[in-house]
Chains A and B, each alone.
Chain A
């Protein structure tokens, strides 16, 4: 450890450059990781909602609705369906507006439409199912969420590609900076390395301090990036909470069984994020210095 501390003191600007580039890479990686995880969570949430919702006219009888339901079940294109009667609709309405008595007044089951929530067995059947429902008698309105899902999917994919591009770009820069600063440090320790060779030191003995330094830089910059990111997040948390009030818990890539929730972030998600960022930072530091020492310490 004292060797590493001496190395940092002897080359403060080079060490700072390595640290900052690692910090910057990890901070942005953390930002994009959380953002894509969040959008992925939103996408998964939206996908759990009915993909097609059909509202029936007030006078449509339940028997007619069930006929339509049965005809769709036999088509084989429907994964599941849920019938929401007028009474069920009233219950949902009351639950949603329980804190607003004014909205509950004068509302009875008669004025609320019965509906069917339809989940397609394959996304490509959605358009066909919506068209079929639109043609049925007694149908008032068909709400088709395909556009929302597709837009969200497109946004998530764009974000994922953009994140990947930025991360790869930053990784390349980080590797170049790390390799250059390590090469400089090796050049500064030329006499010591030559002496160690004459004393019988192995290549790994000479290389190890550089590799450990890379890992330590990764851990330190990862920790700082994590701390700063969550400080900023905590600052904006009240605003985000009110803005995302209607959205329930969003799981991280459907890993809700591990209690990994992106929103609101669960403790296990925060700990996992820290572990990932530190591991990623250590790996960059180690690999960058490994290549540099492989090239310059023969």
Chain B
């Protein structure tokens, strides 16, 4: 008998609107779905709503209207209280890295696992594997001041992928990096492809065009195009 593998639906935006208290509208009637282990680029000019989408998934914002499902969590529900459980499944990478300057590489990554209540033995093992993946083996004891921007972003990626976090939300992770370093960071994301559901917000046309992944175009808070294997034209 032929078995057909149907990927699980991981993220569902259905007519989601986000209006801020002062009246500015960040998202207008946005609908899309993301399947398990899919790699999706979110592109668009500044103010298009890319970061708002990521913050809605992180439950930093709540939708003004519409349905928002992330895995089994209904984030559009007014009674949603499982923020901690949701966030333990999300790995987030920021443009400004958000690496703590008074902690070394190991301690920065360990934070992500300590909040999950993992024992020291498993933390050590997970960090070793993550450092290997991002190419920072041997730099566990380095402090952020001793690292380059690219290395800091690798630390942030390692922190986002450890502990079986199923989603990676990357908000302009290459925005502060030179083109060569940005490509090195993209190589790490390529390695993660197929293992994690990745939402990658970016301006970088070269990266989007060359990787030929699904691209969601946003403009003025509206979803204007959703292309399965797309490129990015300004």
Contact = CB atoms under 8 A, between A and B. Distances in A.
Interface stretch (A77-85, A87-95, A188-196): A188-196
A202 B58 contact: no
B92 interface: yes
A255 interface: no
Interface in B89-113: 89-90, 92, 98, 100, 102, 111-112
Contacts of A196: 111, 115
Contacts of A245: none
B209 to A, nearest CB: 30
Interface in A178-224: 191-192, 194-202, 205
Nearest to A203: B84
A10 B60 CA distance: 29
Nearest to B113: A199
B102 A6 contact: yes
A10 B116 contact: no
Contact of B100 (A192, A197, A200, A205): A192
Nearest to B88: A200
Contact of A201 (B60, B89, B92, B115): B115
Nearest to A10: B102
- Chain A interface residue number, banded: 10 to 19
Interface residues of B, number: 19
B72 interface: no
B100 A195 contact: yes
Interface in A239-267: none
B56 interface: no
Nearest to B169: A198
A77 to B, nearest CB: 70
Contacts of B87: 197-200
Contacts of A202: 84, 115
Most B C-beta atoms less than 10 A away, residue of A196, A198, A202: A198
B67 interface: no
A273 B150 CA distance: 58
Contacts, number: 39
B69 interface: no
Contacts of A199: 87-88, 111-112, 115, 159
A195 B111 CA distance: 9
B86 interface: yes
Nearest to A197: B87
A21 B89 CA distance: 43
B128 to A, nearest CB: 19
Nearest to B85: A200
A198 B92 contact: yes
A2 to B, nearest CB: 9
A183 to B, nearest CB: 19
Contacts of B60: 198
Interface of A: 6, 10, 191-192, 194-202, 205
Interface of B: 58, 60, 83-90, 92, 98, 100, 102, 111-112, 115-116, 159
In order of increasing CB-CB distance, the 4 nearest A-B pairs are A200-B87, A200-B88, A201-B115, A200-B84
19 contacts: A6-B102, A10-B102, A191-B100, A194-B98, A195-B98, A195-B100, A195-B111, A198-B60, A198-B90, A199-B87, A199-B112, A199-B115, A199-B159, A200-B83, A200-B88, A200-B115, A201-B84, A202-B84, A205-B115
Given A195-B111, A199-B88, A200-B88, 17 more contacts: A10-B102, A194-B98, A195-B98, A195-B100, A196-B115, A197-B87, A198-B87, A198-B98, A199-B87, A199-B111, A199-B112, A200-B89, A200-B90, A200-B115, A200-B116, A202-B115, A205-B115
